[in-house]
Structure 1
């Protein structure tokens, strides 16, 4: 899933242009960051949707798990690329990517995977379900968190503080989805006993 989502993302990047500030100085504008968030989250969602459809799953927790698997694979390949290009900063990049992985692609994809299942439920997957407001709210939230992650802004002068706050926010959203998934399982359990 990680490889496929990376391939889809690289294809989608063919339709995106970045600002000259980004290309010359490596500084991402808000527009650049939003473009990255949309492209990468969309690439993962398409592959998550494929696996959800093929595995014919029916529960929110299934979607969270599939999303997390795709997101972690994506993150592994992206991190390998960052480390490959890091040169003298290799150790610093590896450490940053390592500790921050708990709140990046894995969690954002888990959010969208769970959101797909909220709209899909027991029905066969259809791409029109991705236009459901219940899915779009979570998808837009994942895109915005991703964009804020990449955007060259800090909180109180610290990029690390920004990342820590975004990790906390992402996990709050995952816990909300996990709670919905556990309630769903509890409801199914009660139905089977009656």
Structure 2
């Protein structure tokens, strides 16, 4: 007689998170204790991929409608993630220049390349639903976040004082905590809207364009929130000598009280941005539960497959 399966046993994501966290912590401790630089790539990979992989598995368990297979999920995470970071790197290198609007450009570019990567990964799906778009979009977004975070962690390793494991670990912890509220969340939204309008053939609708622009705006606000917090703090509490430095092109040093206010405003802004995105995602998820699932069209009389299946 087979013993009943507990909810935890049916859902592997808690074991992935806890097991991966234990391995990452053990690797950090051994690296520090032995000064073995060969373990540094292991810290980078485990720390950067743990949370995105866990949430991709969580999304698959909670949102799949049956058409998202494990190989497709893997392709979405790896292929979609790599294509996204490569496309963003090329476009941002040649299209963006330092300016007040740089973060808006980053948001537009990165959300566009992730959406293009999602379409590429899902090109052979014969039929699509909003629920599929939410899951596969989140997976592509988390893949993008994982590869991007590994780059940030690698760069944080090298400081003016030399190699700093502490700086790399702090970077991975911060990005790991914030990753569920970033790329995966934003691409899930655009993926769900796109798939809802493209059940059997790809369609670009007004709602899809608005979703893309809205998510890009959230992305831009997220990236620029620290600068916005500094500007608001100077506007509310700035002193004459600070304004004089600004007039001469210098950024004045914040006072202790201003530093605390900047931190509070920064995190408050991130909370508001995340809340808006989560409420948006929840509304789409509720719609996806009641949306009718389209039937798979039969081949034509000549035996040729459905046009959207390849």
Shorter-chain TM-score bucket reads 0.7 to 0.9
Contact 2:129–2:293 under 8 Å retained in 1: no
> In 2, distance between residues paired with 1:181 and 1:90?
39
In structure 2, list runs of 5 or more residues that go unmatched: 1-79, 158-163, 233-260, 295-310
> In 2, distance between residues paired with 1:36 and 1:173?
21
Shift of 1:188: 4.8
Shift of 1:143: 0.1
Alignment of 1:58-137 (within 5 A): 58-87=128-157, 88=164, 89-121=167-199, 123-125=200-202, 129-130=203-204, 132-137=205-210
Question: Could you say what the CA RMSD is over the residues aligned between the two structures, in angstroms?
Answer: 1.9
Matched, 1:176 2:283: yes
> Normalization by structure 1: what TM-score?
0.82
The number of residues matched between the two structures is 173
Using CA pairs below 8 Å that are at least 6 residues apart, which structure has the higher relative contact order? Answer: 1
Contact 2:107–2:216 under 8 Å retained in 1: yes
In structure 1, list runs of 5 or more residues that go unmatched: 22-28, 190-194
Matched, 1:2 2:109: no
Q: Could you say which residue in structure 1 is the equivalent of 2:248?
A: none
1:27-80 superposed Cα distances (whole Å, 9 cap, x missing partner): xx3x01001001110110101112232223321000011100100000000111
Matched, 1:165 2:272: yes
Give runs of ≥4 in structure 1 deviating > 3 Å. Answer: none
The 3-state SS of whatever aligns with 1:18 is coil
Contact 2:128–2:196 under 8 Å retained in 1: no
Give 1:54's match in structure 2, choosing from 112, 124, 128: 124
Contact 1:114–1:177 under 8 Å retained in 2: yes
Shift of 1:106: 0.4
Cα 1:120/1:188, change in 2 over 3 Å:
closer
> In 2, distance between residues paired with 1:188 and 1:32?
40
Q: Which has the higher helix share?
A: 1
